[in-house]
Amino acid sequence: MQPVKRNIDIRQILLTLSITLAAALTMGCNGKQTSEETSSDSTHTRKYIVQIHTKQPNLALRILDTMETRKEMESYNADYIRMAIYHNVLSQRRLSRFHCLRAVNNPDFKKKNKEDYCDALRMLAELDYKESRYSSSLNYAKKATDEARKRGNRQLENKMMHCVGRNTVKIGNPKAGYEMMWKATENSEKIFDENPDMYTADEVIFSFATILEMMLKEGKASDAIPHIHEMTRRMEKVEKSGLLPEYYMDTRKASIYAIIMNIYDKVGDIKSAEKYKKEFEKTNIGKSETGKINLVTHYLTSKQYSQLLKTTQAMRERIRVQMQDSITSEYLTNILVNEFEAYKAMGNERMARLTAEAMLTIRDSIDKRTQENDVMQLAKIYETQEKDLKLADQDRLLARQKLIMYAFIGLLIIAAVTIALMIYYNKKINRRSKAAVATISQLVEQQDELSKLRPNNITDGNTDNFVKEISMNQSVNMLKRDDCNSIEEVAKRCGFKDEKTFTRLFESHYGLTPSEYMHWNKLANKKKDNSSDMKTSFIRNMSHEIRTPLNQISGFVQLLTDPNVKVEDSQKKEFNDIIVDQTRHMTKMLNDLIEISEYESDKSRLPTSDITVNSIFTSVMELHAEAKPGVQLIYETVDDNIVITSNHDAIVRILSCLVDNAIKNTDSGFVKVAFSPASSGGVFSVTDTGRGVPTDKAETIFERFYKLDSFTPGVGLGLTLSRAIAKRIGARVSLDTNYNAGARFTIEL
């Protein structure tokens, strides 16, 4: 009866624990549901926020904060709406970018709201472009292009391609940039023809006008003139379609006529400029007082100074009557700067001086206001980050409490199951214990029998063979020793009849003669010594490269944490930057070492495919958009139809290593990346005007940690890595010793 009672107790324990676990899980789920339960407040909806955000932006922001805290809205959706409010309503770019970046960095945003995620990438590209962060803008524009392509949104894909082109122009590759923008404008008209609506119609003229405006600002007005006819054709086509609202079409026409007028002003064609001035004045914008600001530059160029002053004075009067803000960059550039130039051209020194003083006053006021606005935005960003840290701490505490609870319940279950198993198997263990003891005793007896038999084998008729085996082993050990000079001496000391007998027996036993074995052993010892030397050199170089940044990090951390040392905020920032730089330096060095090891350990060829040369240049430009002051970085792009068969990522990595090496060793001049087709596949080259490499060092520089100049930054792994990768794709990286104006490295495919 007792075993039955024991089984009943186990079932009761397991049942109780299961009920406890289910109750705990139910409580956890209910708690989560409560925290995420949608509020009954009708104002706590996205629709309501959209309705009020233009007139009551601060109220909309407060509602968003409440909804996010109560888990009524996902954080990434709240940040996306905040981005729109700060950008479109409050004109606070810094806060807009901060929240946009927070949304994009949230991994759930891309998974659950792909449409808004794609638009947020577009917004980051536009914001960074306006702030002259062209490399960052280029990166986000490319990401937005890829996302739009995946979603089949041709219009957004084309728009972002246009943005990629603008940034490419700004980072120093105008040829490729303008080609990309022209291609985008061609695509915009095709998209409009296939799917005519208000948005595709506007893109037909807006994308083209943007290129003309960029040419005007970049000092290439003469290059824009051949495209003016195409601009007017597109504008007429869109106007005839009737898809744009009348007011919107009028605004676009006024903007385009003003751009064309300014282009002709720049090239000195006043007659053509007057023609488009009249077209501008026919628009409703051109007839309005606010629109006449677009004519001020034309009046200055055409020397119509009295008309310029009449226009600016009317604008100033309108600002005064309507009590508008005059401390703006628009007021400074559109009114005061043009008035100053007009007075100076007219010879009115007194008015020119007074206007210049007003310009200085306005500029100081604008700078002060900008600083105050930046401080306010940074304070809000800091406040948001502090709130995020508190919420993160709360989430971590809650997660820890849940983990402890689940762990405790799990331990109870494990304990119960363990007890049950122990009881269940207890009888089996007792039944088998006697059999196990008997088996062990039998094995011991067999071992004793084997021990007794072994001496009989040795003392039997096989004694000679046993002794001969011992002698052979002894001879091998003697041949390995460095002080072994004579095979005859080894044969004698090991008990063999003579050297000839020893050699014959040794060769029949091991397959090689004693002299061959000695030679082989010396070569093995030499390789072992070389390997040891390489290991010692490697450890010495690594210890030096790691110890130096670690010493700096340790020293600055001690300064920052020592309560007895007072460190200014500017010094704290400087110390922090040094710590970050040195940490990145060590991380890069270790990553390079790991990468070299991976490439050298695996000898198999990397997969290849057909790739365009320009796609490789584009990828390298993303990594190296700029060189350093005094050094120009040049990419000689080729026709888009030039294709090679290789591994895209491998070539990009090799070129990146070579470009990085060239920039480090070039103080002035240029670094140029080029490609030359060849029957074998082609040759990439990286040419610089730097210090150059001596001919006798053409191969030495590819060794690990080797540097011609110890003061040059870096650890000397880039060239080693480039050659290791090249071997995996069947290519060859080498120094062109015929080039003597610096250094030129080639990749022969």
Q: What is the mean pLDDT of each run of 10 residues along the chain (749 residues)?
A: 42 50 48 42 74 87 86 88 89 88 90 88 91 90 91 89 92 91 93 92 93 91 94 93 92 93 92 92 87 86 89 82 70 84 90 88 82 76 74 74 71 67 58 54 49 43 60 76 75 81 82 81 70 57 70 76 76 81 77 76 84 91 85 88 91 93 91 89 92 89 78 74 91 92 92
- Shared-domain flag, residues 743 and 613: yes
- Shared-domain flag, residues 738 and 620: yes
Distance separating alpha carbons of residues 279 and 254, to the nearest angstrom: 8
Give me the pLDDT at residue 662, please: 92
Q: Is the residue at 676 inside a domain?
A: yes
Give me the pLDDT at residue 556, please: 74
The structure tokens 């130096």 sit at 548
DSSP 415-427: HHHHHHHHHHHHH
Q: Is the residue at 727 inside a domain?
A: yes
- Give the residue from 247, 263, 288 where a domain finishes: 288
The CATH number that applies at residue 702 is 3.30.565.10
In the sheet that holds 743-748, the strands lie side by side as 631-635, 669-676, 683-688, 743-748, 732-735
Query: Which helix (DSSP H) or strand (DSSP E) does residue 686 occupy?
Result: strand 683-688
Q: Is the residue at 553 inside a domain?
A: no
- Shared-domain flag, residues 93 and 205: no
> Shortest CA distance to 207 belongs to which of 223, 226, 190, 225?
190
CB 669 within 8 A of CB 742: yes
Q: Is the residue at 625 inside a domain?
A: yes
Give me the pLDDT at residue 426, please: 60
Domain that holds residue 234: 196-288
The total of structural domains in the chain comes to: 3
Using a 10 angstrom Cβ sphere, with 0-12 exposed, 13-18 middle and 19 or more buried, the burial of residue 269 is: middle
Q: Is the residue at 325 inside a domain?
A: no
- Shared-domain flag, residues 108 and 200: no
Distance separating alpha carbons of residues 104 and 144, to the nearest angstrom: 11
Is residue 680 helix, strand or coil? coil
Q: Give strand pairing partners of 687.
A: 672, 744
Chain centroid to Cα 693, Å, comes to 32
Give me the pLDDT at residue 8, please: 41
Q: Is the residue at 611 inside a domain?
A: yes
* Phi/psi of residue 631, nearest 5 degrees: -125, 125
Give me the pLDDT at residue 510, please: 76
- Shared-domain flag, residues 647 and 739: yes
Distance separating alpha carbons of residues 136 and 118, to the nearest angstrom: 16
- Shared-domain flag, residues 91 and 206: no
* Long-range CB pairs of 477-482, under 8 A, 24+ apart, other chains included: 479/514, 479/517, 479/518, 479/521, 480/521
- Give the residue from 92, 112, 132 where a domain finishes: 112
The structure's pTM equals 0.47
- Give the residue from 253, 288, 323 where a domain finishes: 288
- Shared-domain flag, residues 736 and 644: yes
CB 243 within 8 A of CB 198: yes
Alpha helices in 73-170 (DSSP H): 75-88, 93-105, 107-112, 114-130, 134-151, 154-170
Q: Is the residue at 627 inside a domain?
A: yes
Provide CB contacts within 8 A for 416, sequence distance 6+: 10, 13, 14, 17
Biggest alpha carbon distance in the chain? 131
Alpha helices in 195-304 (DSSP H): 198-217, 221-224, 228-241, 246-267, 270-282, 284-287, 296-301
Q: Is the residue at 713 inside a domain?
A: yes
- Shared-domain flag, residues 612 and 721: yes
Pairing of the two strands 631-635 and 669-676: parallel
What is the identity of the amino acid at 334? N
Alpha helices in 459-513 (DSSP H): 463-480, 487-493, 499-510
